[in-house]
């Protein structure tokens, strides 16, 4: 019985605390809850590390950033086994408990700052969960202390509607928020700069509004116009690379990268960079190659994704070992991504103005963020050049291709954006499975299917299936 209850608590999305830093029971010194500032750093750091783990394993292989050199690993052929689903599901829900406890703690001490920060982080992690799986436990999730061990699954539309409410509330809370120096020192992203936290929340808001804008629901297009144009003074957003939401990894604890202790074999040798990924960088003479890729025979060369079984290519360019401790891999959402969001919004007429300035600002910022200089002719003499007379589809592809590179090692974002737009257009290898269809979600974890079966079956009926081709609400 104890074993069954423990399984329910984890797989039912109801983990109530972590072992080390989210104990809300009365402690030996009489404290009734952990103070919210002590939850912030560990929760964000853990989510980012887990995101990097699966970005390396899943996102970058699906999106042809790299390709495995092992025949037994078939993710690049669109084969994702059910057990892959458990890792992120369990860990995202685990940290959602800590993030929501941060709100409870902030409320208890009348801290608008920590309530606002909690709401932004909640929207970030919850959006990842629903974008990767579809309908998920949300309103009843993380309530193990209240005895809810088999939470219902909520429809994605309802989840997004609530995420927008949380980001609206966060924006208001930050208007009157403050932190003392000791609290600010425990903020690993902005060192207590709440103006930047407010920009982070509103920039994330634009990401999520654009994601659902194609549904024609939730007033998304109108809200985008308010944030960017008609009510922009009430919704500050990123204005430079310095505003980007990045936990910059360090070379010593506590904020080490997920890859800091990886062997070179695990990080580099088992894969080579994808032909698609490298060829575009070569065409643009993009200086980011020097930060990301090794040379093979004095050249940057990729390999084909989706190669047939038994035809493993010879190794070519691989990730540089220096990326294992690269501070910028702690990215949540950055200024270049925001500029590409604005470029797409302008292209579609959601906001006034032309898409070109946003596009070119995004390209420039995506390169300078890495401490590099945009090469002469990059925007005037290569395929990265913007042509005003191109049709809308060509322009969107150009925006999304550059956005793809700005999302380097950013959780599942490039895959999610590909599912939303179909861009960038990826070449299809001869060995693809799943009928050659890019997976549109991950299946629900096996343990969730078993211990929360009634709610699982209802969710599957609502979703229209539980497989790699089932589309989520905003993608239908």
Query: Other C-beta atoms within 10 Å of 263: how many?
Result: 9
pLDDT tens figures, 22-57: 443 343 344 456 789 999 999 999 999 999 999 999
Give how far Cα 373 sits from Cα of 259, 288, 344, 400, 422, Å: 27, 10, 24, 21, 30
Q: Is 315 helix (H, G, I), strand (E, B) or coil?
A: coil
pLDDT tens by residue, 99-156: 999 999 999 999 999 999 999 999 999 999 999 999 999 999 998 889 998 999 999 9
Spatial contact of 188 and 49, defined as CB atoms under 8 Å apart: no
User: What pLDDT was estimated at residue 33?
Assistant: 63
User: Does 111 reside within a domain?
Assistant: yes
- Among candidate residues 115, 249, 99, the one with its CA nearest the CA of residue 189: 249
Question: Pick from 135, 13, 1: which is nearest to 452 by CA?
Answer: 13
Q: Residue 441 domain-assigned?
A: yes
CA distance 130 to 432: 26
Domains contained in the chain, number: 1
User: Strands, E, within 284-330: which ranges?
Assistant: none
Q: Is 303 helix (H, G, I), strand (E, B) or coil?
A: strand
**Beta strand ranges found along 351-468 (DSSP E):** none
Residue 310 within a domain? no
CA distance 303 to 317: 8
pLDDT value, residue 269:
82
> Residue 10 has what pLDDT?
45
The three-state secondary structure class of 380 is coil
Q: 396 — phi, psi (to 5°)?
A: -65, -40
**Please, which residues bridge with residue 331 across strands?**
246
Instruction: Give the pLDDT score at 25.
Output: 38
CATH of the domain at 81: 1.25.40.390
- pLDDT computed for residue 266 by the predictor: 84
- Whole-structure pTM value: 0.94
Question: Would you state the structure tokens that stand for residue 334, as one six-digit string?
Answer: 């950055």
DSSP annotation of 155 reads P
Distance CA 450, CA 423 (A): 36
Q: Which parts of the chain register pLDDT below 50? A: 1-31
Task: Provide the token pair at 55.
Answer: 């970005």
Which range of residues forms the domain containing residue 174?
A: 2-23+37-258+328-475
For 221-256, give the DSSP string.
HHHHHIIIIITGGGS----SGGG-EE----SSTTS-
Decide if 273 is inside a domain. no
Residue 146 falls inside a structural domain: yes
Q: Which residue bears the tokens 């991950």? A: 442
Helix (H, G, I), strand (E, B) or coil at 23: coil
Q: What is the pLDDT of residue 18?
A: 37
What three-state secondary structure class fits 102?
helix
Q: Tokens 């088999």 belong to which residue?
A: 150
CB 281 within 8 A of CB 384: no
Whether 18 is in a domain gets the answer yes
Whether residue 278 is contained in a domain is answered as: no
The reported pLDDT for the residue numbered 34 is 77
């Amino acid at each position: 019985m104890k074993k069954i209850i423990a399984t329910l608590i984890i797989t039912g999305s109801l983990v109530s605390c972590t072992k080390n830093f989210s104990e809300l029971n009365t402690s030996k010194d009489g404290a009734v809850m952990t103070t919210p500032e002590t939850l912030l750093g560990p929760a964000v750091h853990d989510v980012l590390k887990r995101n990097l783990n699966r970005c390396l394993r899943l996102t970058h292989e699906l999106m042809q950033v790299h390709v495995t050199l092992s025949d037994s690993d078939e993710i690049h052929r669109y084969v994702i086994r059910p057990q892959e689903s458990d890792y992120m599901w369990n860990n995202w829900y685990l940290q959602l408990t800590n993030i929501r406890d941060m709100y409870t703690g902030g409320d208890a001490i009348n801290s608008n700052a920590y309530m606002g920060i909690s709401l932004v982080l909640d929207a970030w992690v919850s959006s990842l969960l629903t974008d990767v799986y579809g309908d998920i436990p949300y309103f009843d999730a993380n309530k193990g202390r209240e005895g809810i061990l088999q939470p219902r699954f909520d429809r994605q539309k309802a989840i997004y509607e609530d995420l927008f409410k949380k980001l609206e509330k966060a924006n208001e809370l930050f208007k009157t928020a403050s932190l003392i120096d000791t609290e600010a020192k425990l903020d690993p992203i902005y060192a207590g700069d709440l103006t930047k936290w407010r920009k982070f929340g509103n920039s994330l808001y634009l990401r999520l509004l654009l994601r659902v804008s194609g549904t024609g629901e939730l007033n998304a297009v109108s809200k985008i116009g308010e944030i960017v144009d008609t009510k922009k003074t009430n919704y500050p957003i990123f204005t430079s690379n310095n505003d980007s939401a990045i936990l910059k990894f360090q070379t010593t604890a506590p904020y080490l990268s997920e890859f800091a202790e990886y062997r070179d074999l695990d990080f580099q040798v088992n894969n080579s960079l994808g032909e698609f990924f490298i060829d575009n960088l070569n065409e643009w003479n993009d200086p980011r190659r020097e930060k990301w890729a090794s040379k093979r025979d004095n050249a940057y060369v990729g390999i084909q994704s989706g190669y047939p079984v038994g035809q493993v290519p010879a190794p070519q360019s691989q990730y540089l070992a220096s990326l294992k401790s690269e501070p910028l891999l702690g990215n949540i959402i950055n200024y270049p991504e925001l500029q590409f969001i604005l470029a797409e919004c302008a292209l579609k007429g959601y906001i006034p103005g032309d898409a070109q300035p946003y596009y070119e600002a995004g390209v420039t910022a995506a390169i300078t963020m890495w401490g590099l200089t945009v090469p002469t002719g990059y925007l005037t003499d290569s395929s990265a050049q913007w042509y005003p007379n191109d049709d809308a589809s060509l322009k969107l592809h150009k925006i999304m291709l550059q956005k793809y590179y700005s999302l380097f090692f950013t959780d599942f974002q490039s895959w999610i954006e590909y599912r939303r737009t179909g861009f960038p257009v990826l070449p299809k290898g001869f060995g693809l499975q799943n009928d050659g269809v890019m997976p549109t979600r991950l299946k629900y974890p096996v343990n969730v299917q078993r211990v929360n079966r009634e709610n699982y079956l209802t969710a599957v009926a609502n979703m229209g299936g539980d497989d790699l081709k089932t589309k989520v609400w905003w993608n239908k």
